[in-house]
């Protein structure tokens, strides 16, 4: 992780939350919520969502965590799009004229407001156009789109007609898209001719075309539906007759009304790919044809989100950002007080839950941001806060750390007084970045919510609550309502009930946001999450719990890296490298990185006869970018004649990690290695690289 400054702060570093409600009320409420999770979530499901037919009373939760059969509200039928859009257009909410989506394009001057009424009509048009093209209930629709309102509209249109969306982050390469289309058997792909980011054009349609041109997609994709880009000349693109559909004019020609499909709460809503651990002991899946070059499988797994996830998205958005008292169905006539901005990308779970579903399910106005924090300059976020009077601002520690480098002056040029809550997500935040966010951005007035969660959890599972939980910089604090957290001894699997404690983080009872399976591989799902510690959902994260019960995430304990808040499996990068003909063996480890939290260090050995040249190294960097995407670009690639292996032939990643991080004094015993001299060779090479 970023620095060893994730340490418990001194007493004076405990910050009071910015409004006052006693922590004891949280504790009582939380204890009650986990005493009977079924009844807790069932009451909320009835109160917060509109159902076409209710789930049978008394059986909100059935099945068990152990075998992955836990299901929520099964038998109840609802439509997520109806709950997120339609209901706010009519009585008792009557928010049809209020802003649903506030789009800020790449250029600060390109701002578009979409009201709830307009959103309903547009979503219906997109839904009708999808149906016209042949999409049916249960079909998987792949979305490879820029951060434009059409992306949210298409997600909601899928939800409306019972299709399953699979959004692929626009930074992924053609190879990665092809894998995902193939895995999901997705017959439909929605893209845009181009997007823009940081003043540069993103050729999304061409990347999609390259993906569907790959052999593994042949015969799968029926149609590519192409929105015109929002910039000038966005409609100037060529397509293949019968494959590409000009989607913008087709959508415009559709009727602005489309009935909702009423879906079971357990029907899939979306597929989202993310890196995971292999779930099998390392070294068991050799690739014999290359002499065991990569000793693990690729680890990208598709998690399936169910329709009942809507409840979790809605409730956690309201609680974690302190909306509960301000808006929402409990007080339908309360005026909107919040302008909510999550500046993530909708291609990740943060965008799904906290840009699209969570805010809209609460009837909020949500910002969609197409650009980067430094375009046209490093004041972009703060300029947006001032212009739109943003009240809730949610970003990642990496962004905060990178903006901190520019000093306090850029934010001080803007009026940030509208801010009420500042959120962070995706990785541990180091106390120095936390304090900068709190002092310079929040002017010491705002709650900083450090939200811990995962793609698999669907929404926040640990966070402080604004105005309620006293904050400690660097700690995500206490579990959310309805989340029954446990800290387990990593070796024995026994629960540690006393505090302080150190162990791995687990969850004891199901919750409605949880993913139920991995696409096409339920056994893998069980192996990764349910089997490591029977009776618990295993997060893959290590943690400490301090004497106040506060949780401090210490980072992944499996083979997953967290680079700028993006999850990247070390095995994915290794597979990309060994796919190059010159690479015989690859091993990838994480290294501390000041801005990104973690960086990627790759070690490789070459096939006989391939010399180590600068050109080859450049090719290997490119290899990872094209196989996965630019966000996975390695920080170092070290080539050597051999890697440290045990005598039984297992690569010693622990030692590689120490060498890469220059933690040479804790390398430990190397005498069991088949060739201990390799360690000295690697130490020299890493030192040269740095």
Spatial separation of the C-alpha atoms in residues 511 and 70, rounded to whole Å: 9
* Binding of residue 2 to ligand WTA (CB under 6 A): no
Residues 6+ apart with CB under 8 A from 277: 299, 528, 540, 558, 559, 560, 569
Residue 101's φ and ψ, nearest 5 degrees, are -120, 130
**Adjacent-strand bridge partners of 503:** 543
**Closest Cα partner for 239 from 194, 172, 193, 195?**
193
Q: Is 572 in the site for ligand WTA (CB under 6 A)?
A: no
**What is the C-alpha to C-alpha distance for residues 137 and 383, in angstroms, rounded to an integer?**
42
**451 counts as binding ligand WTA under rule CB under 6 A:** yes
Nearer to ligand WTA, 193 or 454 (CB): 454
Residue 458 binds to ligand WTA (criterion: CB under 6 A): no
**Helix extents (H) in 362-445:** 380-388, 397-404, 409-412, 431-436
The structure tokens listed for 684 are 């020299």
Under the criterion CB under 6 A, does residue 485 sit at the interface with ligand WTA? no
Q: Are 167 and 180 in contact (CB under 8 A)?
A: no
Going by C-alpha positions, the residue among 324, 275, 281, 318 that lies closest to residue 298 is 275
The CB-of-515 to ligand WTA minimum distance in angstroms stands at: 10
CB of 611 to ligand WTA, least distance (A): 39
In degrees rounded to 5, what are phi and psi of residue 211? -65, -50
Q: Which is nearer to ligand WTA, 552 or 603 (CB)?
A: 552
Asked if residues 505 and 543 have their Cβ atoms less than 8 Å apart, the reply is yes
DSSP string over 310-372: HHHHHHHHHHHTT-TTTSSTTSTTPPP--EEEE-S-TTSHHHIIIIIIHHHHTT-EEEEE-S-
Out of 125, 524, 556, 627, which residue is the one contacting ligand WTA (CB under 6 A)? 556
Question: 116-133 vs 149-161: helix axis angle to the nearest 10?
Answer: 60
What do you get for the CA distance between the two ends of the chain, in Å? 18
Work out which of 121, 567, 580, 658 binds ligand WTA, going by CB under 6 A: 567
Closest CB 423 distance from ligand WTA, rounded Å: 9
Q: Which of 104, 345, 484, 541 binds ligand WTA (CB under 6 A)?
A: 541
Regarding 455 and contact with ligand WTA (CB under 6 A), the answer is: yes
Of 87 and 567, the one with the shorter C-beta distance to ligand WTA is 567
Q: Across the strands, what pairs with 651? A: 645
Please select the residue that binds ligand WTA; options are 454, 477, 570, 585, rule is CB under 6 A.
454
% helix, strand, coil for the chain, step of 5: 30, 25, 45
Q: Residues 258 to 277: which contact ligand WTA by CB under 6 A? A: 274
Which of 287-295, 419-427, 515-523, 640-648 is the region at the interface with ligand WTA (rule: CB under 6 A)? 419-427
**Of 72 and 434, CB closest to ligand WTA:** 434
Residue 228 interacting with ligand WTA (CB under 6 A): no
Residue 382's SS3 state is: helix
* Residue 395 in contact with ligand WTA, rule: CB under 6 A: no
Nearest approach, Cβ of 659 to ligand WTA (angstroms)? 23
Using CA atoms, how far apart are residues 464 and 164, in angstroms rounded to an integer? 32
Cβ distance to ligand WTA smaller for residue 79 or 455: 455
Distance CA 452, CA 459 (A): 9
In the complex, the smallest distance separating the C-beta of residue 272 from ligand WTA, rounded to whole angstroms, is 9
> With respect to ligand WTA, which residue has the nearer C-beta, 51 or 631?
631
Of 207 and 476, the one with the shorter C-beta distance to ligand WTA is 476
Q: Does 166 bind ligand WTA (CB under 6 A)?
A: no
- CA dist., res. 402 & res. 380, Å (int): 13
Separation CA 167–CA 286 (nearest Å)? 31
Say if strands 551-556 and 537-545 run parallel, antiparallel, or are unpaired. antiparallel
Stretch that binds ligand WTA, among 72-80, 118-126, 146-154, 424-432 (CB under 6 A): 424-432
Are the beta carbons of 644 and 622 closer than 8 angstroms?
Answer: no
Strand, coil or helix: 158: helix
Q: How far is the CB of 454 from ligand WTA (least distance, A)?
A: 4
Residue closest to ligand WTA, measured at CB:
455
In this chain, which of 403, 425, 485, 602 binds ligand WTA, going by CB under 6 A?
A: 425
Under the binding rule (CB under 6 A), the answer on residue 476 touching ligand WTA is yes
Per-position x/- string for 342-381, each x denoting binding to ligand WTA as judged by CB under 6 A, each - no binding: -------xx-------------------------------
Least separation in angstroms between CB 403 and ligand WTA? 18
Inter-residue contact 603 to 583 (CB < 8 Å): no
Shortest gap between Cβ of 32 and ligand WTA (angstroms)? 25
550 binds ligand WTA (CB under 6 A): no
Nearer to ligand WTA, 457 or 623 (CB): 457
Least CB distance to ligand WTA at residue 275 (A): 8
How far is CA 369 from each of CA 106, 253, 395, 666, rounded to the nearest angstrom? 8, 27, 12, 44
Shortest Å, Cβ 458 to ligand WTA: 10
- Judged by CB under 6 A, the stretch of 290-298, 448-456, 625-633, 677-685 that binds ligand WTA is 448-456
Of 452, 481, 537, 538, which one interacts with ligand WTA (CB under 6 A)?
A: 452
Residues touching ligand WTA, count (CB under 6 A): 21
> If binding is defined by CB under 6 A, does position 187 make contact with ligand WTA?
no
Decide if residue 305 touches ligand WTA (CB under 6 A): no
The C-alpha atoms of residue 142 and residue 676 are separated, in whole angstroms, by 48
* 42-50, 307-315, 446-454, 664-672 -> range binding ligand WTA (CB under 6 A): 446-454
450 binds ligand WTA (CB under 6 A): yes
Q: Does residue 453 belong to the site contacting ligand WTA (CB under 6 A)?
A: yes
Decide if residue 125 touches ligand WTA (CB under 6 A).
Answer: no
Answer for which of 428, 473, 512, 542 binds ligand WTA (CB under 6 A) is: 428
Residues 90, 80: Cα–Cα separation, whole Å: 16
Residues 6+ apart with CB under 8 A from 36: none
Least Å from the CB of residue 223 to ligand WTA = 30
CA distances for 174 relative to 170, 206, 336, 638, 675, angstroms: 10, 9, 42, 26, 40
Sites of contact with ligand WTA (CB under 6 A): 274, 349-350, 425-428, 450-455, 476, 539-541, 553, 556, 562, 567
């Amino acid at each position: 992780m970023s620095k060893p400054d994730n340490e418990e702060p001194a007493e004076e570093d405990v910050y009071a939350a910015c409004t006052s409600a006693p922590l004891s009320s949280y504790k009582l409420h939380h204890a009650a919520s986990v005493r009977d999770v079924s009844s807790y979530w069932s009451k909320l499901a009835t109160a917060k969502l509109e159902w076409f037919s209710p789930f049978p009373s008394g059986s909100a939760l059935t099945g068990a965590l152990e075998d992955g059969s836990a299901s929520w509200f099964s038998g109840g039928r609802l439509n997520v799009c109806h709950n997120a859009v339609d209901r706010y257009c009519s009585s008792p909410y009557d928010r049809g004229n209020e802003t649903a989506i506030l789009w800020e394009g790449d250029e600060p001057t390109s701002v578009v407001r979409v009201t709830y009424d307009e959103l309903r009509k547009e979503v219906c048009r997109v839904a009708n156009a999808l149906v016209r093209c042949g999409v049916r209930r249960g079909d998987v629709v792949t979305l490879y789109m820029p951060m434009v309102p059409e992306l949210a509209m298409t997600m909601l249109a899928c939800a409306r007609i019972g299709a399953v969306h699979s959004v692929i982050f626009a930074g992924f390469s053609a190879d990665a898209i092809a894998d995902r289309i193939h895995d999901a058997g997705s017959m439909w792909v929605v893209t845009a001719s181009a997007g823009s980011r940081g003043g540069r054009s993103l050729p999304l349609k061409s990347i999609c075309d390259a993906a569907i041109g790959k052999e593994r997609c042949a015969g799968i994709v029926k149609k590519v539906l192409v929105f015109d880009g929002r910039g000038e000349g966005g409609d100037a693109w060529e397509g293949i007759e019968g494959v590409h559909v000009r989607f913008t004019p087709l959508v415009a020609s559709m009727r602005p009304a489309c009935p909702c499909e009423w879906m079971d709460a357990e029907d899939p809503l979306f597929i989202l790919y993310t890196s995971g651990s292999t779930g099998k002991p390392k070294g068991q899946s050799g690739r014999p044809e290359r002499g065991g070059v990569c000793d693990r499988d690729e680890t990208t797994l598709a998690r399936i989100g169910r329709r009942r996830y809507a409840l979790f998205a809605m409730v956690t958005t309201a609680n974690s950002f302190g909306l509960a008292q301000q808006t929402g169905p409990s007080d339908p006539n309360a005026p909107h007080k919040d302008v909510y901005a999550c500046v993530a990308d909708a291609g990740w779970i943060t965008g799904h839950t906290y840009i699209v579903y969570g805010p809209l399910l609460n009837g909020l106005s949500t910002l969609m941001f197409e650009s980067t924090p430094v375009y046209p300059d490093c004041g972009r976020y703060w300029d947006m806060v001032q212009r739109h009077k943003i009240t809730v601002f949610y970003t990642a520690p990496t962004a905060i750390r990178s903006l901190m480098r520019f000093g306090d002056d850029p934010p001080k040029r803007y009026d940030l007084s509208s801010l009420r809550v500042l959120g962070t997500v995706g990785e541990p935040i180091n106390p120095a970045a936390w304090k900068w966010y709190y002092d310079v951005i929040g002017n010491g007035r705002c709650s900083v919510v450090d939200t811990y969660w995962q793609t698999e959890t669907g929404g926040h599972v640990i966070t402080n609550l604004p105005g309620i939980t006293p904050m400690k910089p660097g700690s995500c604090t206490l579990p959310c309502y309805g989340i029954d957290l446990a800290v387990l001894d990593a070796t024995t699997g026994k629960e540690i009930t006393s505090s302080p404690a150190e162990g791995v983080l687990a969850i004891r009872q199901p919750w409605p946001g949880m993913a139920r399976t991995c696409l096409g591989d339920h056994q893998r799902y069980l192996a990764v999450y349910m089997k490591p510690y029977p009776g618990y959902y295993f997060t893959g994260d290590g943690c400490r719990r301090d004497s106040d019960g506060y949780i401090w995430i210490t980072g992944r304990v499996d083979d997953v890296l967290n680079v700028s808040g993006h999850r990247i499996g070390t095995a994915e990068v290794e597979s990309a490298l060994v796919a190059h003909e010159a690479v015989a063996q690859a091993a990838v480890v994480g290294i501390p990185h000041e801005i990104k939290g973690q960086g990627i260090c790759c070690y490789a050995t070459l096939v006989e006869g391939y010399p180590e040249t600068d050109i080859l190294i450049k090719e290997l960097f490119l290899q990872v970018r094209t196989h996965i995407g630019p966000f996975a670009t390695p920080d170092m690639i070290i080539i050597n004649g051999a890697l440290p292996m045990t005598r039984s032939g297992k690569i010693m990643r622990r030692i590689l990690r120490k060498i890469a991080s220059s933690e040479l004094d804790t390398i430990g015993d190397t005498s069991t290695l088949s060739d201990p001299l390799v360690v000295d060779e690697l130490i020299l090479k890493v030192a040269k690289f740095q």
